A and B are shown apart, each in its own frame.
Chain A
């Protein structure tokens, strides 16, 4: 017979305000198996825990019910207390009489009977509890970083410096990400490449960092400490070992295609590196545009390549590797402003997005660093910047603020003035948002020292007239209609989640918000963790952010990963599923629904009419099982039980409440 102790917590007035504690304790004394009941003001306090421990000894209790807050809060606290008093920690049940009861009721005469019912249910369940063992799991001392932008690079370097091997998987032929596309960085105006490329090189040279570029994640299985990942390394058509990066191939290649890196404003060759400082400096053949792959002839690159590194036969390779931790740092996309017909984006070469305009400043960009109009190659006089294109727009765009646009616009206006001294900038804005160290000062400098005209208001229409663009807007501070003859228009298009973010999230097993930015586990207290243990997020895949924030978050994610990898063993899940093989009919539907591939089929022998009969049944591997319960819900004959939540225990709870 069970010897159960019930302990009811006041939680100050959180519970005691709406639940009659004395009545609950009194009622608990009458539950089957209960030999002791008590109460305390704060059970989670040391005094409260001691009360439980002492009662376990004094009354020789073999199981415990605590009526407290949600088990998400203090289940571990009480399990540890029970364990310290010599009980198996799983001989304790939490009746959630705060979140499920006192907080959602106003009247004591309603809340008290409900609290008693919840306590009765927990006492009925705990009577059927069995001691459970917590398995210990190995940790693969290797981290995976998905995305080789500044976030991924920073996280990789931090983890590598802590002494762990880390792989960066990057989709593009080179690491570097968005930051590599930038000319200067606010608010210090240091050259983006000058501060990024040393980190790229450091990552490439670090003995603990492996770059797996031109590759994507095919599949992620397993769980914290033991993620089994399939990485698809796309066929580069170039032997990375032989290639010296001399560049003869892309010089000689006769086929051209729009450069992704230059936002389509310049051409690259069919065999190419995305930008001069690419790491690794090994080209790829874009098979869709290569003459040989399209028409079966050419092969000039192969003929010209001194080390004979071109390999047209190369195939995609799937790398299968185990990781202890994963950091997702997949970055962001820029909204396509052509959804706003009034701005005419895409219909005129002098209407650009912020990122496109940025490339015009770059010495290796489409204009060789000259800020000129793409229509006629002349330097612009009047440039109109429009903020919040798709940001802060409930009707047609995103509700959120993209955070970086006010600052990069101020930066571009300053850079413009430096390159084209007689140029004049106009900025249409809703609000100027410059929270950040040195940011406000920077923006003020643009307005005051660089003669940038800030107009609070919106633009209604842009249309070409003769050799310029006419911008129709409103200056809401003066209330006047403004008409500007602009040579160029720059649209600060919203930062949005990568279009394939939901797919990446699904593969890795993390969820995202309604804009497809990945969700952190807690917006304040767990900003780089996700709800999937062992998976962390960093950078603009979580929300729009600037470089300092991205780097800070990347280092934070790295620390979390390092903390995980530094453990000798992880505590596994004690509540795992178990197949009752006598009853299992072997339909194996459980295998189909198990997200952890923890169930396999096994052949057993049974006696049948004096002989033996072989048949197939399911079997759970407890070290892989995470206790999600999908299999138990799928099994029609109830032949799988989840330890700690067995069918008998659940039914006992239901009966205790309903009967």
Chain B
């Protein structure tokens, strides 16, 4: 564990501790270490003992904002640690009327990007025991020795492609900002897919989606999936069958992607949570790209006050069907 992140964790604990123990918030959503050293899982801190477990390291990838949906039913006021993506997720929930702004305290954590255990392992060449970080590089310890790699090389994919590492909304900023990242080519893979013929593209997605187990992890972590009853589970009418087979899998993923049109904040949690590595962000980003092309640049979640393009009408909106 890097010295720096330990210090930062200490600072976070001190500030949020005042609010939690002082009664300003009834619950703090943060991270604690999981079963393995390379996992940090959500922490639901209610007291001083819980707070001792609070962690801030390079594995705090899980988006915490979504936990508000349930926790706000139990607690009057909840504090949340928000990275860039957690903050945009919060705006998503706010725009969907799922959370009350005055019942949430947001502690902003500008985020250096989280590390990908899979990539670390690959770089280490196996038997990774631990890592340490300093100045943008990561030292990998294995049974046979040490190896140093650039931090950028071992970032989570979603973090490498993240444009907004700083929280876009917060009540208190706990660390110093990272700055907006320029020159991120997040639509590259979408453009590659657009080059394919419809048949090739269908074959590609058929291959990818055939692996889907319909575990719905993508939906469960998603900040735009806040329906009380998802269409997949509705009985009357039964929109789609339960079986996991290509046709049904297509139906589920395409409808889910459409439901995120103009709403997906591009946090990449769906793809991260997917146990069979379906490139779900490509679906979402295709729609983000289309929306930007049709209605002008719009970044869902960045500004809760900005009008979502599919919920507003402007006289100069493109009307492909009525134009001659």
Contact = CB atoms under 8 A, between A and B. Distances in A.
Interface residues of B, number: 20
A637 B311 contact: no
B229 interface: yes
Given A584-B228, A592-B312, A608 B96 contact: no
Nearest to A586: B97
B237 A651 contact: yes
Contacts of B234: 637-638
B229 A589 contact: no
Contacts of A637: 227-231, 234
Contacts of A514: 324
B303 to A, nearest CB: 16
Contacts of B98: 585-587
B97 A587 contact: yes
Contacts of A586: 97-98
Contacts of A613: 73
Interface residues of A, number: 25
A488 to B, nearest CB: 39
Contacts of A585: 96, 98, 226-228
B229 to A, nearest CB: 5
A589 B228 contact: no
Contacts of A639: 228
Interface in A70-128: none
B78 to A, nearest CB: 15
Contact of A593 (B97, B236, B311, B315): B311
A198 to B, nearest CB: 40
B311 A592 contact: yes
Interface string A573-600: 0000000001111111100110000000
Nearest to B322: A511
B259 interface: yes
Nearest to B96: A587
A502 B312 CA distance: 18
Interface in B308-324: 308, 311-312, 315, 324
B229 A588 contact: no
Interface in A294-340: none
B202 interface: no
Q: Interface majority SS on B: helix, strand, loop or mixed?
A: loop
A580 to B, nearest CB: 9
B67 interface: no
A506 B315 contact: yes
Interface string B225-244: 01111110010110100000
Interface in A495-516: 502-503, 506, 514
A569 interface: no
Contacts, number: 50
Contacts of B324: 514
Given A585-B98, A585-B227, A613-B73, A503 B239 contact: no
A636 interface: yes
Contacts of B228: 582-585, 637, 639
A277 interface: no
A638 B311 contact: no
Contacts of B308: 592
Contacts of A588: 97
A588 B227 CA distance: 12
B60 to A, nearest CB: 28
A588 B96 CA distance: 7
B97 A636 contact: no
Contacts of A210: none
Contacts of A506: 315
Interface in A431-486: none
B311 A608 contact: no
Contact of A616 (B97, B237, B259, B311): B97
A647 interface: yes
A514 B324 CA distance: 9
A585 B237 CA distance: 18
A648 B259 CA distance: 20
Interface in B286-316: 308, 311-312, 315
A587 B263 CA distance: 12
Nearest to A588: B97
A589 B231 contact: no
A385 B259 CA distance: 62
Given A514-B324, A588-B97, A648 B236 contact: yes
Most B CB atoms within 10 A — which of A503, A616, A638?
A638
B16 to A, nearest CB: 26
Contacts of B239: 638, 651
Nearest to A635: B227
A19 B289 CA distance: 47
Contact of A587 (B226, B229, B312): B226
20 contacts: A514-B324, A582-B228, A583-B227, A585-B96, A585-B98, A585-B226, A587-B96, A587-B98, A588-B97, A589-B311, A616-B97, A634-B311, A636-B259, A637-B227, A637-B228, A637-B229, A638-B237, A638-B239, A647-B237, A648-B237
8 nearest A-B residue pairs (beta carbon): A637-B227, A592-B311, A587-B96, A651-B237, A636-B259, A648-B237, A585-B228, A647-B237
Interface of A: 502-503, 506, 514, 582-589, 592-593, 608, 613, 616, 634, 636-639, 647-648, 651
Given A585-B96, A586-B98, A613-B73, 18 more contacts: A503-B315, A514-B324, A583-B228, A583-B229, A585-B228, A586-B97, A587-B226, A589-B96, A592-B308, A593-B311, A634-B311, A636-B227, A637-B228, A637-B230, A637-B234, A638-B231, A647-B237, A651-B237
